[in-house]
Each structure stands twice: as C-alpha cells, then as structure tokens.
Amino acid sequence: MKKIEAIIRLSRFDKIRDALALIGINFFTLQDVKGFGLQKGEKMVYRGSVYDADYIARLQIDILTTDDMVDAVVDAIISSGKTGEVGDGKIIVYDVQEVVRIRTGEKGSEAV
Amino acid sequence: MKKIEAIIRLSRFDKIRDALALIGINFFTLQDVKGFGLQKGEKMVYRGSVYDADYIARLQIDILTTDDMVDAVVDAIISSGKTGEVGDGKIIVYDVQEVVRIRTGEKGSEAV
Amino acid sequence: MKKIEAIIRLSRFDKIRDALALIGINFFTLQDVKGFGLQKGEKMVYRGSVYDADYIARLQIDILTTDDMVDAVVDAIISSGKTGEVGDGKIIVYDVQEVVRIRTGEKGSEAV
Amino acid sequence: MNEAIFTTNNLWMMISTILVFSMHLGFATLEAGLVQKKNVVNILFKNTMIVCIGLLTYTLIGFNLMYPGADYAGGFFGFSGFGLSVPEGNPIDYAGGNYTYWTDFIFQGMFAATCATIVSGAVAERIKLMPFLIFSVVFVAFCYPITGFWQWGGGWLKEAGFYDFAGSTLVHAAGGFAALAAVIVLGPRRGKYTSHGIKPIPGHSMPLATIGVFLLWFGWFGFNGGSVLSANPMAVSLVFVTTSLAAAAGAVTALFTSYYLFKSYDLSMVLNGILGGLVAITAGADQMSPTDAIAIGGIAGIIIPFSVVFFDKIKIDDPVGATSVHMVCGFWGTLAVGIFGVKGGLGQLGIQFMGVATVGVFSFVAAFIIMYVLKLTTGIRVSEEEEIKGLDVCEHEMSAYADSPAEQMAGFKM
Amino acid sequence: MNEAIFTTNNLWMMISTILVFSMHLGFATLEAGLVQKKNVVNILFKNTMIVCIGLLTYTLIGFNLMYPGADYAGGFFGFSGFGLSVPEGNPIDYAGGNYTYWTDFIFQGMFAATCATIVSGAVAERIKLMPFLIFSVVFVAFCYPITGFWQWGGGWLKEAGFYDFAGSTLVHAAGGFAALAAVIVLGPRRGKYTSHGIKPIPGHSMPLATIGVFLLWFGWFGFNGGSVLSANPMAVSLVFVTTSLAAAAGAVTALFTSYYLFKSYDLSMVLNGILGGLVAITAGADQMSPTDAIAIGGIAGIIIPFSVVFFDKIKIDDPVGATSVHMVCGFWGTLAVGIFGVKGGLGQLGIQFMGVATVGVFSFVAAFIIMYVLKLTTGIRVSEEEEIKGLDVCEHEMSAYADSPAEQMAGFKM
Amino acid sequence: MNEAIFTTNNLWMMISTILVFSMHLGFATLEAGLVQKKNVVNILFKNTMIVCIGLLTYTLIGFNLMYPGADYAGGFFGFSGFGLSVPEGNPIDYAGGNYTYWTDFIFQGMFAATCATIVSGAVAERIKLMPFLIFSVVFVAFCYPITGFWQWGGGWLKEAGFYDFAGSTLVHAAGGFAALAAVIVLGPRRGKYTSHGIKPIPGHSMPLATIGVFLLWFGWFGFNGGSVLSANPMAVSLVFVTTSLAAAAGAVTALFTSYYLFKSYDLSMVLNGILGGLVAITAGADQMSPTDAIAIGGIAGIIIPFSVVFFDKIKIDDPVGATSVHMVCGFWGTLAVGIFGVKGGLGQLGIQFMGVATVGVFSFVAAFIIMYVLKLTTGIRVSEEEEIKGLDVCEHEMSAYADSPAEQMAGFKM
Ligand SMILES: Nc1ncnc2c1ncn2[C@@H]1O[C@H](COP(=O)(O)OP(=O)(O)O)[C@@H](O)[C@H]1O
Ligand SMILES: Nc1ncnc2c1ncn2[C@@H]1O[C@H](COP(=O)(O)OP(=O)(O)O)[C@@H](O)[C@H]1O
Ligand SMILES: Nc1ncnc2c1ncn2[C@@H]1O[C@H](COP(=O)(O)OP(=O)(O)O)[C@@H](O)[C@H]1O
C-alpha cells in the first residue's frame, strides 16, 4: 500500500479531481496548507507598507492506493496539475505499513 | 516507531479520545481535513440550486507510538470510531525512521 | 529522500524559519494543527464556567529533503525551536519512496 | 393641543418605532454571536421570521387584543375585532395629540415581536424550526397581547395600581418566563451537562455579540423613550439619562462581580450586565433619579453573573442568558419601582410583586402548554445527529460561512 | 405655515437622510455577505466609493439635472447649471415649509447613489474596479438624474399621470435594469454555468447578509417615510405601516414559496423576499391600506424565488439577486399602483406600465452602452487567474480576513 | 420661544445623542476590525467599558467640570459640585428653548467618552486592560472636561475668539494627542519595526472595519448636526451637507493619493480618508460652503496616507491610525476655520493655531504623565508571551471566534 501526498495549486484542484476520477480514484482527503517555495506569495499592501505574503495557499491531497496504481496516479496529477510556471507543487509517495477501514476492520487493499 | 493516522468522523472524536486515553495514549496531533469518499456530503441548497457538498468535514488524528502499541491503538480507534455506516474513515500505519522531542533532543521511544 | 515533520510552537515559527534558511532550506509546507500533549491548553472562562482548552494551536512544518540533510535540519529545528518548557513539540523523520516535481516531472533529489 | 406639537410628538413615536425595530437586529446579532458556528443560519432565520410574523399577527389580531378599548377597562380579556381600522375623527384627537392611529399600531407592533425573540435565544441550537415558528405565532398573537392588555390596555393590573413603564414585566419578564418554560420542556443541549460537570459551549463570534448589545442599547432609547408616548422634553430626556446610566452601571458592576467570582474579565458577562441594567430600569425609567437609575442598573449587573451560574447549576441551558437578563432582571426592575423613586413604598412593592408574578406565571404556563403540545405532536427537538451536525446543514441545507480556500475553489467546477 | 412645523418637517427630512445613508451600509454588508471570501475587500471598496462619488457628482451636476426647476416642466431634459446655490428668500418658502434647500439636496443626494449600488452587487466578483467606478460616475451623474427628472423633477412622465411615490421605478427598476445590462455585457462568473448544470457559489457570510437586510429595512423607513417630503403625521405613519407590512409579507411568502420549490428553508430567499416586498411597496406606499400592502409585498415574496431561478436558467449571473429584487419587484410594485389602492384602475395601470417600461429601457440602454464602451476601451473584466485568486489580492493587494494562527504569527518577523 | 419649537429642538438634541452613542459602536467595530484575531475580545471589552465609564464619571464630575457655569467665564478651571441636579425654573428656559437639562447632560456625556475611545485604538494589542481603564477614567473625568471647559464651557479660549464648532480640537485633537503620548510611553507592538524594515500587521476583518466607518459617519450627523444645539433648519441642514461632502471628498482624495504612493487601492486608507474628512470639517461645519467643505475634506484625504507613512517611519505604532485621523486631521480642521469660510483670515488662523496647540500640549502632557505613572506603578504593557498569544486568551481567558469543526465538537464532551 502506498500513500501519495500531492501539494497542488488551488486553481488546479478541479482538473486534478477529474483526472483522478478518470483512473478510478474517487477517494481522498484534502487539507488547506501554506506553501513556502520558489514561488513567492502575492505582493500585498497594508496601510502604506508593501510586503510579500511569504506563503501561498495550497491544497494537499492525500491518496491511499495500491502499489500498482502509483504511477497512474502520479501521471494523472502531473498532467492535470501542471501549468509550467514555478509553484506547481510536489507529489510525494510513501510506503504504508497498513491501512484499516474503521467501518469494517478490513485491511490492506480491501480498505481503500 | 510508528505513526498512526486516523481519519475520523467529527462526531466520534470524543469517544475515540476516551478510548485512546484508556490505553494510555494522551498525546496526539489533530487537524481539520475534508474527506472525499463513499459517503457524500450533505445535500445543500443555495438560492434555488440544489447541490451536494462534495466533501465531508473530518478530523485527522496523528499518533506517534511504539511498535508494540500499534494494534491496541488500531483496535481502540475501530471500536470507538465505528458507526457501521459508510464514512467511518480509515486508519493508516506508517513506519517512522526517527522521532525527536524538541525540548530535550531525546529520540525514539523516549520522545513520544 | 526523507520527509521531516516538525510540530512546533507558533511563537517559534520565525526563529525556526530563519534557522532553516541558514542551512539552505527555504522550501516547506506549513499547516495549522492542534496539539494534545503534556502541555495543556490555556485556562478559559466562558459565562462563569472555567475550563481548559484541551489543545494548543501549533504549526506543523513538512520538509522534504535528501538523506544527508536530515541531521542538519533536525539540529536546526531543535536549537531554534526549543524553549525548554513542556510543549516544544516533536520532529518526525520518514522515509519517502519518491518525490516528483509537478512542474517538470523531475524525481528524487532533483525535485526538492 | 396644537398641530406643531402633535407633529413633533408623532415624529418621536415614529422614530422610536424605528429604534425598536433595530432591536430586532440587535437580538439577531447577539444571539448569532453566542451560538456555535453550525447553528448561525438557523438563529438568523428565526429572528428574521419573528419580526415578520409578529407584525402580521399583530395586524390581524394582537393589536385589538391588547388595546380593545375602554369598554374592557379593568378586565382580564378583551377583543375589538380582526384587522386594523382607522377610527373616525380628527387624527390629532386619537391620542390627545401624541400620535396617530398608524403610529400607535406600528410602535406597538414592533414591541410585540421582541417577546418571542427573547425565547428564541434561550432555545437555540436544538429546537426544530417549524415548531418554534408555530410557538412564536401563538405566543405573539395571544399570550403577549393578553398580559399586555392587563396593564397597558387598561386591564385589571392597571386598575390595581401596578406600574410598568416600558415593559420590565410585560415584555421582558413575560418573554423570560416563557423562555424558562420552553427550556424546561426542551431540555439542555447535548453535552452541556456531563458527569464531569458543566461543559461550556462558547459562542462563535464575540464581535457579533457585541454589535448586538450596542444595537439593543441603541434601540432602547426608543423602547423606553418612546414609552413616554409623546416627545415631552423633560420626560423623554430624563428617560434617556436613567436608561443610559442603568446600562453603564450594569456593565461596571457585572465586570467587578464576574471578576470576583471567576477571576476573569468576561466580555459576555459585561454584555449581559448592560442588558440586565437596561431591562431593570425599564419598569421605572421615568420615575427614577440618575442615582436611583445607577443603583437599579448596578444591582442588575451584580445579579447577572450569579443568576447565570445558578441556572447552569440547575441545568437550565440557556445559550444566551435570556432567563437571567430578561426574567430575573425584569423581575428585579419591576420590584425596584416599589423600592426606589417617586412610587417607592411597601404598598407599591407588594403590588409590583403581584403584577410581575401573575404575568410571569401566566406566560410560563402558557408557554409550557404550547411547547408541551408541540412536543407531543410535531416534536420540538432535532435528533442527536442533527444537533451534532448543526441545524444549518440539517434544517437549512446551508452553512453560514463558506470560507475555506477549498470551498472557494469548489465554485469553479461541478 | 408656521416656524415650528417647518422645523419639525425639516427635522424629519434630515433624519430620513440619515436613514437613507444607512442603506449604503446595508448594501455594503448584504453584498459583502453574498460574495466569496476572496472578493470581500473589493465589494466593500466599491460600495464605500459609490456613496462618496454619488454625493460629489450630485453636487456638481446631478441635483440640477434632476431638479432643474419649473422652466423645464413636462420635458425630457433640463439643467440649471453646475454646483449648488441657495436660492434667495426666506428658507421656509423654499418648499412650502417642508424642508430647506440644503436638506433637499442632501436627501436627494443620498438617494442618488443607491441606484449605482444596485448595480455593484450584480456585477460582483468579476468586474474590474476602475471601469466600474467610471460606470458609476457616469450613471449617477447623468442617467439617474435624467429619468428622475421625468417624474420627480416634473418632467413628461409626471405630466402623463405616472405615479412613483418613492422610487420603485426611478430608483429600483432603473438600477435593476442597469444591472441587467451590465451583467449581460460582462458575462457570468467562471464556473457558475457548467455543462453539468448550475454550480451555486455560496456567499461567505450569512450574518453579514442578514445585517444588510435589516439595515436596508431600517433605512427604508427614511426612504419611503422621507418621500412624504414632510412630517405629516397621518401620511408618514401610514407609510411606516405599509412599508413594514409589505416587508413582513414578502418574508413569509418567500419562505413558503421557496420551501415549496426547493424543500428547504433558504435564508437567502427570505432575505430577498423582505427586500422584494420593500421594493414593491415603494411605488405606492402612501396609497395603500395595510391589506393592500400585505398583498403587494406577499406577491413580491412569491415572485422572488421564481425570478431567481429564472435568471439562473437564462444564465444571467447575479450573485446578490439584484435583478430579481430591484428590477422585477420594482416593475411589479410600479404596476401595483394601477391595481391596488386609491389610484387602482386600468387607465392608471397602462400609464404605470408605460412609465416603468420607458425608464427601464432608458436605463438598460444607457448602462449597456456605457459598459460596452468600457469593455472596448479599458476592458471590464478581470483575467481568469485574477478571478480565481480573487479580486482582493489582485486588485487591492489585501485580504479581507487575516486570521489563521500562521498569519497571526507572520506579524512577528520580517 | 414657543413650546412646539422647544419640543422639536430638544427632540433633535436627543436624537443626536443616540447618533453619538452609535459612534461608540462604530469605534468598537472599526478598532476590532483593524486588530489581529487574537486581540478582538480585548478591544471590544475596552470600547464597551469606555462608554459606560465615560457616562458614569461624567455624571459624577465631568459635566460640572466642563460646564461649571457663568461664574467661571473666561477662566482655566471651574467646578460646580458633584453629581447632577436639575436647575430650578421652567425647563424651557434652561437653554433658551433649545434643550432640557437632561438632554444637555446626556448629549455631552456621550461626547465625553469618544475622547478616550480614540486612545484605545492607538494602544491596542499590547496594553494591559486595567491600567488602560484607569487611564480612561482619569482622562475622561478630568482632562477632557478641563480643555472642554476652555472653549465650550466658556473659558479662556472662547474669550480669545477661538472657534471649534463640534470638536476638531476639543474632542479629536485632544484624543489624538493623548493617543500619541500613550503610544510613546507604551512603545510599538513587538515585531512591527524590525531591522529589515516595517512589518505590516494586517487587521483581521475588513468588513468590521468598514461597518465601523459607516457607523461613525452615521453618528457624525449627530455629532456635528447636534452641535448646532437646536434644530434650526438652515443651520443643521447646512452642517449635514458640509459634513457629508467633506467625508466624500476625503475618500476620493485618499484613494488617489494612496494609489499614487503605493500603486494599490487600499481600502484601509479610503476608510481613514473618510474619517479624516469628517474630523477636519468638524471645527467649522457650520461655517463652510459646500465647496469649502470639499476642499477641507479633500485635503484631509491627501494628508492621511502621508501621515500614516510618516508615523510608521518614526516608529509610532498606531494600529488603527488614530493619530493621523484624529490628531493630524483635527489639527488641520481647526486651522481650516482660519483659512476657509466666513471666519477665514490671518488673525483667526493665529488664534486657531494657538487653540489647538494649547489643547494638544495639555492633552499630550496629561496623557503622558498618567501613562508614565501607570507604567511605574501597575505596569502598562503585557509580557512578550502574552503579546504573542494574544490578549484575549491571556487577559480574558476567551477567544473571539470559536469556530473550527474541532472546537465545535469540543462542546460534546468534557
Ligand atoms: N522541500 C520541500 N518540502 C516540503 N514542501 C515543499 C518543498 N518544496 C516545495 N514544497 C511545496 O511545494 C510548493 C511548490 O513548490 P515551488 O518550489 O514553489 O514550485 P515548483 O515545485 O514548481 O518548483 C511549495 O509552495 C511548497 O508547499
Ligand atoms: N483512498 C483514500 N485515500 C485517502 N483518504 C481516503 C481514501 N478513502 C477514504 N478516505 C478518507 O476516509 C473517509 C471515509 O471514507 P468512506 O469511503 O466515505 O467510508 P468508509 O471508510 O466507511 O468506507 C473519506 O471521507 C476520506 O477522507
Ligand atoms: N505521541 C504523539 N503523537 C503525535 N503528536 C504528539 C505526540 N506527543 C506529542 N505530540 C505533539 O507534540 C506537541 C508537544 O508535545 P508535549 O507533550 O506537549 O511537549 P514535549 O514534546 O515538550 O514533551 C503536542 O501538543 C502534540 O501536538
């Protein structure tokens, strides 16, 4: 079992969701995160002081999936999430030792 | 060392917290996440348009623990977090390479 | 490749960011989390009832980095994030199987 | 009476109407601020509908139940027919040159709905919407006008020598007792009273709550000032002074009392202290000197924290403190007319007690019965699951705030 | 006319001015509540600037375009010169003892800007700031005063027997038609109408929206009540009654209609129902009985949900429902003068239709042309990226709420 | 003077009182909007208490310090005893038929507290609660009434020919200079001025800030309009016009100036521009033509952005811009009486300068001393840790918003 974490642009969420759905991935967990990276935050002005927001609002998608799906998921996210501009984000793949479905107690690939 | 991530229903948080406390787990980190899965969000109506909220607000609990506690934790979460209805959530167990307590620099099982 | 998760005090964020920058880490992802641990939340009073906020607002920093940087990062976070009081938080190091940069598709150490 | 003074008097009564109207916004924001985020749409919905329902039922029936005319003087009940009809004759004569028939109706109509609004805060976060609205219709159409008639309509209480200038009893205690009855029938919010003790459920927005209290004070200038029923310079301006000083004193004593009790500067107590002071001065705002007003408001501010704690101890779960503010301080303020000011004296104190007690009992019993009947028929409480999820999503399919980045994005695709 | 009544009349007109002013805050909060979190600064900015721009252009030109004087009676257009100048003579004679020249100007000036504010809600979340402000300048400096002159300034509509007491046509329908034109030129928000159907984009704060509606009702006492143009006791108090009952009836019928249509207690519909009732009664608030008012407001409340759904079906994307509330209910209310009340009758109905139709067409065409010219020159729409990120960050370099713990921390270092 | 005009005059003064009262809500929301989320309860608490404290101290001592009567004419200090006591004689004679004794007191009392409120915004987010409240008590009980007496109470400034219609100097500059002194003693918020430059600390809610400014404008109709001290039709309506046009002009010039300086449409600057215009016109609102008013307000709007930047440069940390708005524009507005309008002229300009300077120096020195004494005794600043955590949790054990899903759940178990 693998867990795939993708840190993406807000504006690409819907495209990515569609791309994932096409390869059969409809289950995932989403959270709001703040990204510090190459792409700087917006120029902001407040009461005469100009400053950069030092982060960018981003979404993190966590997907649990079986080993054989990993490449498909990564490809789907890259193709749908890429704008080519700095700041498109990262995909991280981890090994997961165990996944359990709380409702049934099922484990492993049954559980996702 | 293991990290256990549990994605749970909001309404089960207190039961799960109690169940964890019973087996001696009082330390964890909590975050608000949005779940996309079998269980659909609520039916919503706004200005005459009916739609489904496409996600459900959920909580993610992260627990660091020693290898021998994993089964107890998983069982505690399952028994306290299960309603039997679609949408109870998932438990994910990872292997952790190292845990450090910032305050003391202690590592491994000393640190949790 | 490693992922380092640090759960830190809000008030230490800037110090930690600076310490990381000194060792060349400018990229990371930040999120708001709630910590349950040894340090209890503030005493709160609402309409005559006194209670403890049962958690403390904390920040979680996720850093992807190459294996050789791990010790430097951990040391930087410890030295900048430590107050010595209960509640300084944890650092967790995971093994990551793969990291991909969405913009370019680069993998591994190229991607961070 | 000359035309010019008539015009001015009537103008003030109309402006008072607008001010009382703004109290409904005050109640809406105060109550919205003191509930959880997941029940905000529901409380706003209720408060919005109550004004509207109140005005319509008052048109249809309430006004003529409350003011049936001199034929029913000294009685318990009177009714002069459905709907509104302008009396014959010169408008200036309708009320001795103080206001027109229309002004009379709209001013009284705005008052009427406040009573039901008091209840809405106390039963928040667990009552079903429709039964609550039915309760409001019945309460504002019948109960409030009947007890109102006893005094302001010229009924038996009036004849008995009872004094309630602007409604410490007729509006606030009546609403507060009804709230108490409703809470008893309904039960507390789940999770509030646990085996480990009381679990506070903090309101979701202190700015909204504070805006609410300021707006209520703002509106109270019309609530009390308008109850002079003319623009009489000395009378109205004295009422302004006593009303404001009572509110101010209530805040200060609530601050010190709650600091003494809880070692904390509790904003919600100070806000309740202001309201307590306002409610308490209302029965005698035209009878008191500034010093009396400070004493009456100050005592109300001391009562509030004790009362809030007391109701929590006996497990009366009232998220906004309506029972403490309106019932307890309404009671206190009514008695105060028999203690302070021109009318003070043991005889008057007895009458005051009798008045507020009978109105209180009537309102309590009436509200209890209505609620109980609703409980047996439609049911009055949402399910446990709905209570946990929140009434907004379950009763309104809506959330009050749609504001995370992810939700914002959600707008960009189906 | 005696000095005392003059003083009272003028006082009421000044207070009405303040009330109409508060409607601008009502619009600002209503519209802010109904947009997404990322566009809140922008809508507040626009609403703040519109009042200011409105007052200044009305000083320079608008007032004298709208009220050029008796010389232009019955005409289509008149202008009596730039700027303000107090007429000679005793102030009491300026308006038959009803108000002073200054009061006249400031009351009318506060009215003027509401028209442009109506547009601002409809074009929210995608229009560029500067072109919108230019549009507002032109609209409020020229279009509103010209159609206003036709009726209130004594122009041809007035002479034709058209009746529009406080502006169902001249303010609301005019603003609503302009909004429709603007939305057509501008297009819907991205992502609203997809191949899968309509994607609702919920407003970010129901408390703000509710506050807005209460403030609008609050201000409407001055909008309608002030349109009596004196403090005449019977006239103004009747207007208070009809205005409030229409609003209340609009809420109740909107509740049932939207429940019937969507099986949901939709707060935003009830709020729009209140506004629809208020807009509808505005044309004849001084002509109607309470029952008429309830009917007119009640019908408006029924119209609202249907209208909102209809405009969504034809892909007119109006985030706040301005077209339904102001254009449709303004139209309805104008016609209602020919159906209900003293003036009701087929002849009048025809004239009413003609009046609202000509004003509507004029406003629509004028707004369309201004918007179109701006589209070709400055451009009127933000880029897709700006729309996704939100206008606050892109046009104002600011966010409306800076509130996460992480952001708070950001204050502690560079 | 006839009874009818007396009633109307008094009515207007009472309504002005209500309007000035609503400015306290305006200050509360403006300041709450411009601070960080973690300090919101604290600022609401302070603003709520200030009104209450202000009214009570004004009852006890302030009123009789400020208006000690004709015996002290032309002097520096006078006092006519503690508490309130209605003068003998016919109420109509108390103020030549303009208002009653009670109205006089309550109108002046509402004014008094605004001065301390100005300070509260400037010292927000780091001052300890109790010392601040002590400061407010002393300032509003002694300092404000003393300088107020100099002019409005008939003291030496009045005799010197100084003119300050509604308080550009006596309220705004006095409060602004006190704020400056307080900020100097207190020091900037931690993290604001770093070795890398100025770190902006954005306010947590632009809707609250905007509501605040609209409410202040709303209240200013009473602040300035009520300062006519009667309902005189021409005088009050002119004041409405000049006040509104100055505000509008301030917004427009602040928009352009800040765009020129920062290439950004900064809402907070426009809001401050409106307030700057209002403060500036206040000294001469009854003396100016519309054009003068536009000039005075417009110049204030230009001053604001420069002033805000200037104070940031010299490290005067004022989260809400109180020094720029109240001190600088109060100064400007006072001078403007010697430049524009009927009284304009070099002689008057000199007197105006002398007046605002002496009041400014007095207020500055007094506030400095009070603050300094408090610093040495009770301490005035929260600890670094408390500042980082926020005053809400540390001083009030409460948070302003309890709103995440996890927090909501927390209600369901102990
Ligand atoms: N080393 C890292 N560790 C954790 N998160 C990272 C790291 N590098 C980048 N990110 C996340 O990915 C986002 C995009 O990265 P960025 O460097 O801006 O662009 P790109 O990935 O296109 O080069 C960042 O905002 C941050 O959230
Ligand atoms: N493959 C997955 N990857 C990540 N998170 C998942 C995955 N499947 C489910 N989840 C999370 O678990 C929650 C519950 O899952 P769901 O499928 O609705 O019910 P159940 O687990 O009872 O079958 C989802 O809302 C989502 O947050
Ligand atoms: N076992 C654990 N699993 C997950 N998170 C933990 C665990 N223990 C502590 N934490 C996180 O670290 C934070 C600090 O821990 P705490 O026990 O309060 O202090 P310290 O680490 O200094 O002993 C907690 O608030 C919580 O967020």
pLDDT tens per residue, range D264-274: 999 999 999 99
Q: Which two tokens stand for residue A97?
A: 């030792």
Residue whose entry in the numeric block shows the structure tokens 């704020």: F179
CA pair distance F168, F227, nearest whole angstrom: 12
CB D385 within 8 A of CB B11: yes
Instruction: Give pLDDT, residue F252.
Output: 98
Name the DSSP class of F343.
T
Residue whose entry in the numeric block shows the structure tokens 């003074």: D5
CB within 8 Å: F206 and E41: yes
CB within 8 Å: F199 and A49: yes
Q: Is the pLDDT of residue D411 over 50?
A: no
- Which of left, alpha, beta for F341 (phi over 0: left; psi -120 to 50: alpha)? left
**Which chain E residues are Cβ-neighbours of D10 within 8 angstroms?**
231, 233, 236-237
Q: Is the shortest distance between the CB of A24 and ligand 1 below 6 Å?
A: no
Instruction: Give pLDDT, residue E407.
Output: 52
Which ligand neighbours the alpha carbon of C60 most closely? 3
Sign of torsion over alpha carbons B99, B101, B102, B104: negative
F114 by Cβ neighbours in 10 Å (0-12 / 13-18 / 19+) ranks as: buried
Instruction: Give pLDDT, residue A38.
Output: 75
Q: Which two tokens stand for residue E95?
A: 């308006």
F239 by Cβ neighbours in 10 Å (0-12 / 13-18 / 19+) ranks as: buried
Partner residue opposite F241 with nearest CB, options E11, E102, E400: E102
pLDDT tens per residue, range F64-93: 999 999 999 999 999 999 999 999 999 999
CA pair distance A66, A3, nearest whole angstrom: 8
Question: Which pLDDT band holds residue D414 (cuts at 50, 70, 90)?
Answer: very low
Query: Collapsing DSSP states into helix, strand and coil, what is residue F200?
Result: coil
CA pair distance D245, D222, nearest whole angstrom: 15
Residue type, F205: S
Q: What is the pLDDT along chain E (414 residues), one digit of tens a residue?
A: 689 999 999 999 999 999 999 999 999 999 999 999 999 999 999 999 999 999 999 999 999 999 999 999 999 999 999 999 999 999 999 999 999 999 999 999 999 989 889 999 999 999 999 999 999 999 999 999 999 999 999 999 999 999 999 999 999 999 999 999 999 999 999 989 988 888 889 999 999 999 999 999 999 999 999 999 999 999 999 999 999 999 999 999 999 999 999 999 999 999 999 999 999 999 999 999 999 999 999 999 999 999 999 999 999 999 999 999 999 999 999 999 999 999 999 999 999 999 999 999 999 999 999 999 999 999 999 998 899 889 998 999 988 998 554 454 543 332
Instruction: Give pLDDT, residue F412.
Output: 37
Q: How many angstroms separate the CA of residue D414 from the nearest CA in chain E? A: 6
Instruction: Please list, in sequence order, all residues whose beta carbon lies within 8 angstroms of the beta carbon of residue F372, skipping any fewer than 6 positions away.
Output: F185
Instruction: Give pLDDT, residue E414.
Output: 26
Q: Which two tokens stand for residue F114?
A: 């605004």
Query: Collapsing DSSP states into helix, strand and coil, what is residue E340?
Result: coil
Instruction: Give pLDDT, residue E411.
Output: 38
Number of inter-chain CB pairs under 8 A, A vs D: 22
CB E331 within 8 A of CB E173: yes
Question: Which pLDDT band holds residue D63 (cuts at 50, 70, 90)?
Answer: very high
C-alpha triplet E41, E44, E47: angle, nearest 5°? 150
D411 touches chain A (CB under 8 A): no
CB within 8 Å: C92 and B95: no
A103 touches chain F (CB under 8 A): no
Instruction: Give pLDDT, residue B14.
Output: 84
- Written as one string, the DSSP assignment of E341-363 is TTT-SHHHHHHHHHHHHHHHHHH
CA pair distance D249, F257, nearest whole angstrom: 45
pLDDT tens per residue, range D345-393: 999 999 999 999 999 999 999 999 999 999 999 999 999 989 988 999 8
CB atoms within 10 A of CB E142: 16
CA pair distance F336, D40, nearest whole angstrom: 48
Tell me the sheet residues that pair with F349.
none
CB atoms within 10 A of CB B85: 10
pLDDT tens per residue, range F88-131: 999 999 999 999 999 999 999 999 989 889 999 999 999 999 99
Instruction: Give pLDDT, residue A47.
Output: 87
Instruction: Give pLDDT, residue D413.
Output: 32
- Bigger pLDDT: F81 vs C51: F81
Average pLDDT estimate for A9-29: 90
CB atoms within 10 A of CB B80: 19
Residue ID of nearest Cα to ligand 1 atom 12: A89
Sign of torsion over alpha carbons D95, D101, D107, D109: positive
Question: Which pLDDT band holds residue F235 (cuts at 50, 70, 90)?
Answer: very high
Residue type, F387: E
Instruction: Give pLDDT, residue A87.
Output: 87
Question: Which pLDDT band holds residue C40 (cuts at 50, 70, 90)?
Answer: confident
Task: Identify the CA nearest to D312 among candidates C47, B31, E405, A74.
Answer: C47
pLDDT tens per residue, range F129-167: 999 999 999 999 999 999 999 999 999 999 999 999 999
Q: Which two tokens stand for residue E135?
A: 């549009």
CB atoms within 10 A of CB C75: 15
Q: Which two tokens stand for residue C73?
A: 């990062």
Question: Which pLDDT band holds residue D191 (cuts at 50, 70, 90)?
Answer: confident
Partner residue opposite E411 with nearest CB, options F191, F237, F251: F191
Instruction: Give pLDDT, residue D243.
Output: 98
CB E285 within 8 A of CB E243: yes
Average pLDDT estimate for F220-241: 98
Average pLDDT estimate for F244-262: 97
Query: Collapsing DSSP states into helix, strand and coil, what is residue B66?
Result: coil
For residue B101, the chain C residue with the least C-alpha distance is C90
Q: How far is CA E119 from the centre of its chain?
A: 8
The region of weakest confidence among A33-37, D22-26, D265-269, F329-333 is A33-37
Instruction: Give pLDDT, residue B49.
Output: 84
- Bigger pLDDT: D235 vs D407: D235
**Which chain E residues are Cβ-neighbours of F390 within 8 angstroms?**
408
Instruction: Give pLDDT, residue E413.
Output: 32
Q: What is the mean pLDDT of chain F?
A: 94
CA pair distance C109, C111, nearest whole angstrom: 5
CB D21 within 8 A of CB E218: yes
Task: Identify the CA nearest to F205 among candidates A48, C32, E398, E214.
Answer: E398
For residue C32, the chain B residue with the least C-alpha distance is B31
Pocket test for ligand 2, best of A4, A16, A25, A29 (most atoms within 8 A of CB): A29
Instruction: Please list, in sequence order, all residues whose beta carbon lies within 8 angstroms of the beta carbon of residue D87, skipping any fewer than 6 positions away.
Output: D94, D101
CB within 8 Å: D8 and F3: no
Task: Identify the CA nearest to E56 among candidates F235, F246, F302.
Answer: F246
Q: Is the pLDDT of residue A41 over 80?
A: no
Task: Identify the CA nearest to E286 among candidates E331, E233, E217.
Answer: E233
B30 by Cβ neighbours in 10 Å (0-12 / 13-18 / 19+) ranks as: buried
Q: Is the pLDDT of residue F357 over 60?
A: yes
End-to-end, the C-alpha distance of chain C in Å comes to 9
CB within 8 Å: C51 and D309: no
Q: Is the pLDDT of residue F258 over 90?
A: yes
Q: Is the pLDDT of residue B11 over 90?
A: no
Q: Kindly list the distances between the CA atom of residue D340 and the CA atoms of D234, D283, D333, F351, in Å, as whole numbers in the listed order.
A: 20, 11, 10, 50
F335 by Cβ neighbours in 10 Å (0-12 / 13-18 / 19+) ranks as: buried
CB within 8 Å: F40 and D201: no
Query: Collapsing DSSP states into helix, strand and coil, what is residue A32?
Result: strand
Which ligand neighbours the alpha carbon of B6 most closely? 2
CA pair distance F94, F81, nearest whole angstrom: 18
Task: Identify the CA nearest to E177 among candidates E110, E111, E118.
Answer: E118
pLDDT tens per residue, range A62-76: 999 999 999 999 999
CA pair distance F57, D171, nearest whole angstrom: 31
**Which chain A residues are Cβ-neighbours of F262 within 8 angstroms?**
45, 48, 50
Tell me the sheet residues that pair with B59.
B8, B32
Tell me the sheet residues that pair with A32.
A59
Task: Identify the CA nearest to F102 among candidates D283, D284, D295, D233.
Answer: D233
CB E99 within 8 A of CB E107: yes
Q: Is the shortest distance between the CB of C63 and ligand 1 below 6 Å?
A: yes
CB E239 within 8 A of CB E223: no
Instruction: Give pLDDT, residue E149.
Output: 97
Average pLDDT estimate for F392-405: 82
CB B12 within 8 A of CB B81: yes
Instruction: Give pLDDT, residue B43.
Output: 81
CB atoms within 10 A of CB F259: 16
Q: How far is CA B13 from the centre of its chain?
A: 9
Q: Is the pLDDT of residue F414 over 50?
A: no
pLDDT tens per residue, range F171-217: 999 999 999 999 999 999 998 998 888 988 999 999 999 999 999 99
The region of weakest confidence among B52-61, D170-179, D294-303, E356-365 is B52-61
CB E354 within 8 A of CB E151: no
